[in-house]
Structure 1
Amino acid sequence: MRNFKGYIIVLASIIMLILGGCKLQVESLADKSIEGANVEGKLKVHYIDVGQADAILIEQEGKYMLIDAGNNDDKEILLSYLKSNGVKRLEYVIGTHPHEDHIGSLDAVIEKFEIGKVLMPKVTHTTKTFKDVVSETKKKGLKFTTPKIGDTFELGEGKFTVLAPNSSEYKDLNEYSIVIRFEYGNRSFMFTGDAEAHSEKEIINNGLELRSDVLKAGHHGSRSSSSNEFLKKVKPKYAIISCGKDNDYGHPHKEIIERYNKLGIKMLRTDKLGTIVCLSDGESIEFVSKDGIINEVDNKSNQEDNNDEEEDEQLNSISIENIDKVKELVFIKNNGNTKVNLKGYKLLSVKGNQQFIFPEVTIEPGEAITVSSGDGKGDIQWGKKNMWSNSSEDPGKLYNSEGKLISEFK
């Protein structure tokens, strides 16, 4: 009898070890996508690999939100992923639009987790998938929240702003897609559902801030979305394309890949990398997958890059157009698209090493101003003394406020 009890104890121990091993394996698989990355205290955006569908989990300070929920067949994958990442409550669930590849498993998510708000566009669909989502939402005592343009919602220390849909009626369900821009510190992310070019144009026209470091490519990288005009306004550094391997639609389409490449936007694809997790502390940003870190840590935000572009534009836009050495007039023009404050800029008459430091003066795009000396009469007076040599070479040089040479006239 004692031996029998001993066998039972040994058998129970073996079972416990097996179960424990299985649990460890599941946990390690869940953690593998962020292996080698310091994620404590950071924002995590999970672009979950659900094949030819969308599902995105956003996590900040222990708060979670889900944007779309894959197909009906993705139920077990999605629920397992959420649970393995510690999700018990979702503050927000967004079904961007009623297509099955975006709300397929949404009813299961609503059933299994505590839910704060369910955001859906104001449009219905006749499919069983849509009816299941409606039914499960009612069972939980919840109602659909129809967000309005400019509405903002907080998630931990992050917040998101609603950018679309901008109209009440569309011919295509894709255009009803809820589009949001999520901000955390100095980093920003845009999530577009299946919004197409028509909706993108409306988003541009609504006047809200669009620049985002990371763009979830519209409609799985279809040629119907990611218009050139839209990409130039958003100015993403990275684009996440959620699509299935060898899918029947040919996503992402060749012309979209070429468009991203031409604009220097780095593409990360779930059909090639699997689930992609973006990590940010509000300043730096990095991407990881099951294979480890995808990119080196990026410490420069989209906004900083845009500032650099504006500075470069200013360097190339202000120039000395002409120097009339007889009339002692220097003609300076802004050939760029933005106004420039010339305060601290320096004009140099090379031969006599004579310098003029500009006061507070703004020059508009396309505008030209004159700097006069001697008896010359211009917009800005340098001095009563003649500054330019008429009998020998005397180039003029213009430096910006940081001392960089930006123009020279001989």
Structure 2
Amino acid sequence: MAYEVDFLGVGEESKSGDAIAIRFGNLQGSRDEQTVVVIDGGFTKDGESLVTHIQKYYGTSVVDLVISTHPDQDHINGLFAVIEQLDVKNLWIHKPWDEPYGLADLFDDGRVTDNSIGERLKVSLEAAYKLVKLAEEKGIPVQQPFTGLSLGNVKVLGPTEDYYKSLLKDLDGMPKPKRAEDSSFFEAFAGLEGFAKRAMEWIVSKWGEDKLDDDDTTSAKNNTSVITQILVDNNRLVFTGDAGITALDAAADQIDACVSGAKLKFIQIPHHGSKRNVGPSVLDRLLGEPVAQGETRSITAVASSAKQGEPKHAHKAVLNAFTHRGAKVLSTRGNGVCHYSGSPAREGWSPKDAEPYHYKYEDEA
């Protein structure tokens, strides 16, 4: 089987996003011999581009599966156009308002009930709620993507239902938990991120030196991201959304337990290449330990970043860390990227050079 993975160019200025189209199977055969998957749709306007891309390059208006990794606007808003304009057969998206998991007991306010938490989640996750309603109106089956859910060669590696539940109390709009330490970190981080423009300094790097740590400092919402695996023959393709270290480590457990014998061929660099989402230990698990300079592995890693997203997206320390582990690293910088295997090159598309090693770069002081 062959496959194509398309990252549409999202982010004309500094705001990055994800809009990903994938097809695999006999790409020279009929539509029935292929599977088309969409993972996230970028901002609202990116949805139109995604629809056009699938119709033009995949020659179809039928999408077998749409996956919404999490309800940030740079991931979910474009999916409305996909649901409205294409023939979508399945939607995977979390909908915690339907069953708020007995969360009322976790909060200080005794007036809080599971029903009121469900209503809060509809407001907090409004785009996801509206997307589910649109899909239901169109008769599209909706499933919650927890670990183990699969459709053919597509499988969810994370999050587990229990881990997802543990993150809900830290989402925006939730009441104060009974113990401040349960959510104080995520709330404080979410409130402080971007509060002030920090001073910049030049970082000097040398081969094999990861300028990253193993602390998970991403938000609760980002850690709810669906992590997806697609197996095409003996190739493993992994899509990470905005997942952080804790979520990625659990996904690595699932990969370790896989008996298919598939080798990692492609991985999405989480959260547009943010420094807060990966560390040396989890990268060693997912890609392998660092290689000698000049050595490579047959792995492509792509960060979906805005044209003016640097230094945050994609962070040079993250690009270097993937390069240390032998991956061919690409950063979209607002342009479309197609990674493919077994399919002919497209007319008008040319190969993209791997990211150079960054020996000196700017970073927040």
Q: Report the TM-score, using the length of structure 2 for normalisation.
A: 0.62
For residue 278 of structure 1, report the CA deviation from its aligned partner: 1.8
Q: Percent identity?
A: 24
Which residue identity lines up with residue 260 of structure 1 in the other structure?
F
Q: Which of residues 41, 60, 72 in structure 1 aligns to 2:44?
A: 72
Pairing 1:216-365 to 2, within 5 Å after superposition: 216-235=268-287, 237-247=299-309, 250-271=312-333, 274-281=335-342, 291-294=349-352
Which residue identity lines up with residue 184 of structure 1 in the other structure?
V
CA distance in 1, matches of 2:345, 2:329: 11
For residue 152 of structure 1, report the CA deviation from its aligned partner: 2.8
Q: Which of residues 188, 201, 208 in structure 1 aligns to 2:257?
A: 208
Greater relative contact order structure (CA < 8 Å, 6+ sep):
2
Compare 101-110 and 54-63 and name the one that shifted more.
54-63
For the residue of structure 1 that corresponds to 2:236, the secondary structure is strand
Q: CA offsets per residue over residues 93-117 of structure 1, 9 Å max, x none? A: 0001111111111112111111111
| Correspondence for 1:134 | 132
Q: Report the TM-score, using the length of structure 1 for normalisation.
A: 0.55
For the residue of structure 2 that corresponds to 1:229, the secondary structure is helix
CA distance in 2, matches of 1:286, 1:174: 35
Q: CA offsets per residue over residues 4-27 of structure 1, 9 Å max, x none? A: xxxxxxxxxxxxxxxxxxxxxxxx
Structure 2 CA distance for partners of 1:226 and 1:287, relative to 1, 3 Å: farther
Structure 2 CA distance for partners of 1:253 and 1:289, relative to 1, 3 Å: farther
CA distance in 2, matches of 1:196, 1:203: 11
Hey, which bits of structure 1, 4+ residues long, moved more than 6 A? Answer: 285-289
Contact 1:181 1:189 in 2 (8 A): yes
For the residue of structure 2 that corresponds to 1:213, the secondary structure is strand
Question: Aligned-pair RMSD on alpha carbons?
Answer: 2.6
Structure 2 CA distance for partners of 1:130 and 1:122, relative to 1, 3 Å: closer
For residue 122 of structure 1, report the CA deviation from its aligned partner: 4.2
Contact 1:240 1:267 in 2 (8 A): yes
CA distance in 2, matches of 1:255, 1:128: 34
CA distance in 2, matches of 1:59, 1:104: 22
For the residue of structure 2 that corresponds to 1:45, the secondary structure is strand
Structure with a larger share of its residues in strand: 1
- Count how many residue pairs are aligned between Structure 1 and Structure 2: 248
Question: Which runs of 5 or more structure 1 residues have no equivalent in the other structure?
Answer: 1-40, 297-410
For residue 291 of structure 1, report the CA deviation from its aligned partner: 4.6
Bigger Rg, which one: 1
CA distance in 1, matches of 2:311, 2:347: 25
CA distance in 1, matches of 2:157, 2:166: 16
Q: CA offsets per residue over residues 282-340 of structure 1, 9 Å max, x none? A: xxx998795513379xxxxxxxxxxxxxxxxxxxxxxxxxxxxxxxxxxxxxxxxxxxx
For residue 81 of structure 1, report the CA deviation from its aligned partner: 1.5
CA distance in 1, matches of 2:347, 2:38: 19
Structure 2 CA distance for partners of 1:42 and 1:214, relative to 1, 3 Å: same
Alignment of 1:97 onto 2:145:
no
| Correspondence for 2:166 | 169
Structure 2 CA distance for partners of 1:211 and 1:232, relative to 1, 3 Å: farther
CA distance in 2, matches of 1:265, 1:69: 26
For residue 50 of structure 1, report the CA deviation from its aligned partner: 2.0
Structure 2 CA distance for partners of 1:82 and 1:219, relative to 1, 3 Å: same
